[in-house]
Amino acid sequence: MAPQRRGAPKAPEGSGTAERRRPSNTKKDRAQLEAPKRGLKTAVLGACAVLAMLLLWSHMGGDDGITEVLARRGEVLPGRFIEVPCSEDYDSHRRFEGCTPRKCGRGVSDVVITREEVARVRSIAEKGLSLGGSAGGASILDLHSGALSVGKHFVNLYRYFGDKIRTVFSEEDFQVYRDVRQKVQLTIAEAFGISVSSLYLTKPTFFSRINSTEAQTAHDEYWHAHVDKVTYGSFDYTSLLYLSNYLEDFGGGRFVFMEEGANKTVEPRAGRVSFFTSGSENLHRVEKVRWGTRYAITIAFTCNPDHGIADPTFT
């Protein structure tokens, strides 16, 4: 009699042995095993896409790490001032008692310059820059030195255009320019408690016109963080007069004071004067302009009379 084959012993319920011996090479089983993997892969790709969008949004200036708005475009500020500790930048330069910053900070005012003055100063910028313009996104006009952006270079507009300049500008233009400079100088002196006569206009003082055109030279890359006292040793006090409006005339282009974990921004408003001590206590940058055109004038002051410059004249 042939020996009988015994069946495999039954596994206790719940032990999982029976399940391990069950064939699992059917298409249905493989699909069930691969489904979670596909879901995980989709989730990872989705997360990467979101991260990429956030990085792109940040790069385009969507948030830019700003945690506080120092001055909003919609506000009309009679004066706002924040004092900050002075850096050591001034120690490496000749000091002028009663002028070299010992009280440092940043301020904003919307009542220094009148609407009429803003319109006249904006007109000066537009007329001068219409003679040239950078091939990139940032164009400069300096009425003191005559520097004007043309393509990828600079020309001296007084020599380049000669007598034609007299048909572009007027004596009234230069008088308005001087009046505005004097008002800004007085505002700075009062805010920092120094004599207005101890401040001297210094170079470069210039108009800027910025748009979203791609940079062509290093001069077009205005968005890098910098310290004015380091970039221009003569600077002790820096000011900007904005000639156009954030979110009305352009997007991006906000002025950002950079502080660890607490950047602060000034939103440009036509007629707004922003001013600050020029050392490392006020490390700053300008956001990239994403659309439209941003006009402003930078007016710088020094305590060293050897670095002073005269107002431009209509001759």
Question: What angle (nearest 5°) sits at the alpha carbon of residue 201, between those of residues 77 and 259?
Answer: 50
Question: Quick check: helix, strand or coil at residue 226?
Answer: strand
Q: Which residue in 122, 254, 272, 294 is the catalytic one? A: 294
* Token pair belonging to 78: 């009679």
Rounded Cα–Cα distance for residues 124 and 118 (Å): 10
CB 25 within 8 A of CB 19: no
Question: Quick check: helix, strand or coil at residue 96?
Answer: coil
Residues 6+ apart with CB under 8 A from 219: 134, 136, 138, 140, 149
Identify any residues that bridge with 69 across adjacent strands, giving them in sequence order: 265
Phi, psi of 139 (to 5 degrees): -110, 145
Residues 6+ apart with CB under 8 A from 32: none
6 counts as catalytic: no
CB 199 within 8 A of CB 237: yes
Identify any residues that bridge with 68 across adjacent strands, giving them in sequence order: 264
Nearest to 143 by CA among 253, 307, 127, 272: 127
Identify any residues that bridge with 82 across adjacent strands, giving them in sequence order: 106
Rounded Cα–Cα distance for residues 273 and 258 (Å): 19
Rounded Cα–Cα distance for residues 269 and 45 (Å): 42
Distance of CA 62 to the CA centre of its chain: 13
How does strand 237-242 pair with strand 200-210?
Answer: unpaired
Q: Which amino acid is at 81?
A: F
Tell me the catalytic residues: 294
